[in-house]
Amino acid sequence: MVLRQIAARGVRSPAVLGAMGCVPRHFFVPAELRDQAYEDRPLPVGRGQTISQPYMVALMTELAAPGPGDRVLEIGTGSGYQAAVLSLLAGEVHTVERLPELFEASRERLAVMGCGNVRAFLGDGSAGLPGHAPYDAVVVTAGAPDLPEALAAQVAEGGRIVAPVGPEDGQWLVAGERTGGVLRLRRVLECRFVPLLGVHGWPDA
């Protein structure tokens, strides 16, 4: 998976490639899909949510560039896979999930994996965690119509943010860095994520 799907498509960070090789993706997908766990595509994890394809997890992690001692905010815990990858690279990871059943299941998986530097929160991820901000990196794993200002505001000086932004049927993955107090964004590639529901995302029906 790491060699053929990730490194071959341009992810170069040795730390990211190493983390992707250390986290067993099959542990984060439903039992009936474990034979497909290392395929290059997203898989359903329940309640209309997915675990992102391995390449996208690696790319977003490389763009976020978490380092030892960094504090990272992840929006959309889902299965817990992205948080587990981030935990191997950052000093501390805060992850937010809005669905109670996914929150409980992912928290148990992360505990079994020994991800002691991950702290999980149940709530509206579109609002982030302003009481714990700022963060050195913010990784958003669901698509919003625009980059939520509430999340952008939680990026520290010198920090990075990675998020899918655009209509529900297709988004652009954007990456940004705050320098001199200004968050500068760039488009990376077209993508498609599940919608970010919440007060600063899409309305929750």
Residue of 13, 52, 79, 106 marked catalytic: 52
pLDDT at residue 178, as a whole number:
98
Instruction: Give the model confidence (pLDDT) of 7-53 as tens digits.
Output: 999 999 999 999 999 999 999 999 999 999 999 999 999 999 999 99
The domain in which residue 76 lies consists of: 56-191
Report if residue 63 sits inside a domain. Answer: yes
Domain count of the fold of the chain: 1
pLDDT at residue 51, as a whole number:
97
Q: How confident is the model at residue 204 (pLDDT cuts 50, 70, 90)?
A: confident
Compute φ and ψ for 46, nearest 5 degrees: 110, 150
Confirm if 187 and 174 have CB atoms less than 8 A apart: yes
The CATH number linked to 140 is 3.40.50.150
**Torsion (CA) 8, 196, 68, 85 in degrees, nearest 10:** -50
Instruction: Give the model confidence (pLDDT) of 59-105 as tens digits.
Output: 999 999 999 999 999 999 999 999 999 999 999 999 999 999 999 99
Instruction: Give the model confidence (pLDDT) of 149-165 as tens digits.
Output: 999 999 999 999 999 99
Instruction: Give the model confidence (pLDDT) of 106-145 as tens digits.
Output: 999 999 999 999 999 999 999 999 999 999 999 999 999 9
Report if residue 21 sits inside a domain. Answer: no
Let me know if 106 is a catalytic residue. no
pLDDT surpasses 80 at 205: no
Report if residue 64 sits inside a domain. Answer: yes
For residues 60-84, one letter each, b for 16 or more C-beta atoms within 10 angstroms of the residue's C-beta and e for the rest, the string is bbbbbbbeeebbbbbbbbbbbbbbb
pLDDT at residue 70, as a whole number:
98
Report if residue 93 sits inside a domain. Answer: yes
